[in-house]
Amino acid sequence: MSRLFDCILADATVVNEDGAGERDIGVLDGKIAEIGDLRSASAGERLDCRGLHILPGVIDSHVHFREPGLTHKEDLETGSRAAALGGVTAVFEMPNTDPPTTSAKALADKVARATGRMHCDFAFWVGGTYENIAEISELERLPGAAGIKVFMGSSTGKLLTPDDAGVLAILKATRRRAAFHSEDEARLNERKNLRVAGDPSSHPVWRDEIVALRCTERLIRLARQARAQVHVLHVSTREEIPLLQGAKDVASCEATSHHLTLSADDYVRLGTKLQMNPPVRGAEHREGIWRALAQGVIDVIGSDHAPHTLEEKARPYPESPSGMTGVQTLVPIMLDHVAAGRLTLQRLVDLTSAGPARLFGVVGKGRIAAGYDADFTIVDLKRRETIRDSWIASRCGWTPYDGREVVGWPVGTFVRGRRVMWEGEIVTPAQGAAVRFA
């Protein structure tokens, strides 16, 4: 009997945890139904993927889409459009919106805003604060919740829990892995006088490596005391790596594409467009993070997509806000590193698909396997493109990589069996749904 599928992705090189090989993928009812030789099978659509690589759908577990309250910079539709155009199939969005996502009501509001309006699937981090400690064990298990996110150092927005007592209380209430912005608030306040007006290159002088190191040391100690699992976001210093290497019993960690790609030398060219929290630092820190990635210390790669308008970025430092776009450029920038030999394609798959699914307990995503969601990031490893501001779908319309030539490009995005993006165009209406967690 001839097998019948909704869609067959034919003659691709499929990349998974078991390596890469030429296979067909049969999709039925939004799920992966069969992998193998499907030349004799029938389908409503047969998509020729010859010469292309199919990766498990990329999960960006660190984005800021600014809705509600800051939608002049970004909203859930524009941010997810950028994600889909860049080959990203699911995102975890951060809580520092206005109002912040710190209650069941605020989370439900975001899920309602996103459902059927976002172009990719989604989950939302819930902010951990002094005020909601008693509810954290319930909040982290609500539908659409990625877990608890804590700001130990101040960044964009009003969420801040800087002291050990507050962090420990939050950790004792968690059962899932909690994510942390790890910068020491006391040292940030002590060093504010080191900011030089009009000079964004003084940003990493103010927010120096000790700011990050001191906070990560505290966080690991508190996690062990609480017997909790933590996730250190956007590691930016080489000094933190030995700590994290020795703390795998309690801590996972994330590197970002900008901390792996840019350096303090780029402040001359980019000015405040390079301004991020934690900062982009000297090249020695970038190389330290690459070494950590090669040694397996880094667990995931995220974009920390954090858009601001060009007008806001044009304010003189330090009045300028920290943040840059990244969700749309995550895949092409990292594929370019693959082309340059800095990491393998299989390792990239683990960092952007299997890794996030494993760390955060995502159900049915992160692998190309029968029964899993048919989420695919389809890429052309040989394609040369130049990233341009005009390609960026984010409402703010700019990227720090404008003019950068890359080798490797996303050509297709499938979310639960639907072809969302193909060859740079959104080709189906938005049907995003909440990510499910174990």
Examine residue 297 and state whether it is found in any structural domain, yes or no. Answer: yes
Q: Which amino acid is at 356?
A: P
> Model confidence over 410-430: pLDDT tens digits?
999 999 999 999 999 999 999
Which residues are annotated as catalytic? Answer: 304
CATH code, domain carrying 379 = 2.30.40.10
pLDDT value at residue 157: 62
Distances (CA, A) of 46 to 8, 42, 370, 379: 5, 8, 18, 17
Distance CA 153, CA 417 (A): 40
The tens digit of pLDDT for each residue in 138-150 reads 999 999 999 999 9
Q: What is the pLDDT of residue 104?
A: 98
- Cα dihedral: 98, 102, 107, 113 (round 10): 0
**Statement to judge: residues 85 and 233 lie in one domain:** yes
206-245 pLDDT per residue, tens:
999 999 999 999 999 999 999 999 999 999 999 999 999 9
* CA–CA separation, 236 and 118 (whole Å): 30
Q: How many CB atoms lie within 10 A of CB 389?
A: 16
Domain shared by 50 and 68, yes or no: no
Domain check: are 18 and 134 in the same one? no
Q: What is the pLDDT of residue 1?
A: 42
Task: Indicate whether 364 pLDDT > 80.
Answer: yes
| Beta strands at 58-63 and 88-93: parallel, antiparallel or unpaired | parallel
In a domain, 368, yes or no: no
Query: What are the pLDDT digits (tens) for 55-95?
Result: 999 999 999 999 999 999 999 999 999 999 999 999 999 99
What is the percent of the chain with per-residue pLDDT over 90, rounded to a whole number? 97
Cis? peptide before 318, omega within 30° of 0: yes
- Examine residue 312 and state whether it is found in any structural domain, yes or no: yes
Residue 329 sits in the same domain as residue 419: no
Q: Using the 8-state DSSP alphabet, how is residue 351 labeled?
A: I
Share of the chain above pLDDT 70, in %: 99
Task: Return the pLDDT at 269.
Answer: 97
Number of independent structural domains in the chain: 2
**DSSP code of residue 293:** H
| Residue 16 falls inside a structural domain | yes
Claim to verify: residue 26 and residue 80 sit in the same structural domain: no
Helix residue ranges, H only, 86-127: 104-114
The answer to whether residue 369 sits within a structural domain is: no
Query: Quick one: 145 and 279 in the same domain?
Result: yes
In terms of domains, do 117 and 213 share one? yes
Helical spans, DSSP H, in 101-233: 104-114, 136-139, 164-173, 185-190, 203-206, 209-226
Structure tokens at 141: 């298990």
Does 315 share its domain with 239?
yes
> Does the pLDDT of residue 158 top 80, yes or no?
no
The domain of 84 spans 58-360
Paired tokens of 267: 């402040």
**Opening angle at CA 405, ends 199 and 256, nearest 5:** 55
Rg of the chain (C-alpha set): 21
252 located within any domain: yes
End-to-end, the C-alpha distance of the chain in Å comes to: 36
Same domain membership, residue 62 and residue 43: no
Quick check: is 90 in a domain?
yes
- Band of residue 154 on the pLDDT scale cut at 50, 70, 90: confident
Tell me: do 96 and 231 sit in the same domain.
Answer: yes
Does residue 185 have a pLDDT over 60?
yes
Residue 289 has pLDDT above 80, yes or no: yes
Question: 199 with 317, same domain?
Answer: yes
Buried/exposed code over 13-32 (b: 16+ C-beta within 10 A; e: otherwise):
bbbbeeebeebbbbbbebbb
CATH number of the domain to which 320 belongs: 3.20.20.140
Q: Are residues 351 and 412 in the same domain?
A: no
- What's the pLDDT at 305? 98
Distance CA 62, CA 117 (A): 19
Residue 366 belongs to a domain: no
- Under a CB-based contact definition with an 8 Å cutoff, are residues 203 and 195 in contact? yes
